[in-house]
A and B are shown apart, each in its own frame.
Chain A
């Protein structure tokens, strides 16, 4: 079993380069299968387990994947003949559900195993199914496999999403690229990775307008071609390092970012007393004073991202005064709190709200990464804590953070990975 061992108390300083966006890459990579001619070269992929996983699933469908560099692959979809992604590996990650949209668009039918991913609450895919059904697919779930069939392919439709869902927005958008006619997605999510996926599909010849707004219009096309595409930087990885820099009273330049995507994090850190300086494609985070507690609520983009709520609770635990965190996206995203309490944090959870009494000196302990972002929170807690912290279930962190210990060591952290 892999573990991370952190000797805390080191101030982070220097520069860290952010990788490609996980949540964009896990949709862009399978969407490359849609090319009717040519190959796709996809660059700036994050070096994370979820990418390895989606690549393996794509290979089982017949795609040829050539890894050019650790961050770049060529996808040759000419031999993709299968519409069934029911391999066990697909159960391991949430993003495997994008294969439903991809295979429906390509073959008019798809069979994909029910997706896995982090256990952070009920994560229904009803909005995806609602969209596919509106486009003419008949959907059933049998033996853990989602089966979607059409008579002669998907047809454009008007789809109003009952809840703002990033996954459903992307999945319906992908499926609609080759549907007959026009698809309108209303109440769409606006996250940057939705724009990135739309950019990629448009580079292949799709006709998508309005991504990044709450109404997306997709005019179906008959033919898509291969292209070169570079994935945008990961706002969540960037935000995690910004929070880590503030928590350790450090001075860190986070490079290869789009500062606009980090505005909600910047605003909250600034409110706490952290100095954040925006560059053209970087942010500098410096902190040399006691921080103050704040209230925050997670919201769909451009609100504060739920994926950074867990790392923020660590920072709020060491800030002065009382803070209140409201998690409005997922219902079980405070599982890390019990782990943080082992380290001395004073947090009370009531439903979707966590009350944090700050100004606590965290102390090292044996803790576990209960999910991906909880794992990142544990790492930050370990960096701040007095003494040694051992984090288990590191595979959950590896799903979404590339070379985390290498990047942190580059900033001066005392962190190492051990295998039992």
Chain B
């Protein structure tokens, strides 16, 4: 097997994933709040149903929330809640 140590390689670190989820959730939260929704209710509705109708299209929030899977959101939320 040829080893290729001279190539650029990318590694995914857990903190990066955590940050991405946090960044997107914050952006979506702010977009919902600015449009006058109760952001927590809307996010809970989305996580429970999977329907992006819960998320406003304002500031690209609806497209952004689809960049992370719902199970990943829930996983991050539970980790943050239980490990603190």
Contacts and interface: CB of A to CB of B under 8 A. Distances in A.
Q: Is the interface of A mostly helix, strand, loop or mixed?
A: mixed
B24 to A, nearest CB: 14
Contact of B49 (A203, A213, A281): A213
Given A195-B54, A202-B37, A228-B36, A211 B63 contact: no
Contacts, number: 57
B10 interface: no
Contacts of A198: 45
Interface string A185-204: 00000101001101100110
Nearest to A21: B53
Given A260-B66, A281-B57, A281-B62, A212 B37 contact: no
A213 B49 CA distance: 5
Contacts of A78: none
B45 A260 contact: no
Given A202-B38, A227-B36, A280 B51 contact: no
B60 interface: yes
Given A202-B37, A203-B36, A211 B62 contact: no
A281 B51 contact: no
Contacts of B41: 202, 209
A280 B49 contact: no
A209 B63 contact: no
Nearest to B37: A203
A280 B45 contact: no
B36 A260 contact: no
A357 B47 CA distance: 42
A211 B54 CA distance: 9
Nearest to A278: B66
B37 A209 contact: no
B48 interface: yes
Nearest to A193: B53
Given A190-B49, A199-B54, A258 B62 contact: yes
A279 to B, nearest CB: 9
A210 interface: yes
A258 B52 contact: yes
Contact of A210 (B36, B48, B62, B66): B48
A247 interface: no
A199 B53 contact: yes
A22 to B, nearest CB: 15
Given A209-B41, A210-B48, A280-B63, A192 B36 contact: no
Contacts of A211: 45, 49
A260 B50 contact: yes
A337 interface: no
B65 to A, nearest CB: 10
A261 B52 CA distance: 9
Contacts of A61: none
A232 interface: yes
B44 A212 contact: no
B41 to A, nearest CB: 7
Contacts of B60: 280
A118 B82 CA distance: 53
Given A195-B49, A258-B52, 19 more contacts: A190-B49, A192-B53, A195-B51, A195-B53, A196-B53, A198-B45, A199-B37, A199-B53, A202-B37, A202-B38, A202-B41, A211-B49, A212-B45, A212-B54, A213-B48, A232-B53, A258-B62, A261-B52, A280-B62
14 contacts: A192-B51, A195-B49, A198-B45, A199-B42, A199-B54, A202-B41, A209-B41, A212-B45, A212-B50, A232-B53, A258-B52, A260-B51, A260-B52, A280-B60
Q: Which 4 A-B pairs have the closest CB atoms?
A: A212-B49, A280-B63, A195-B53, A212-B51
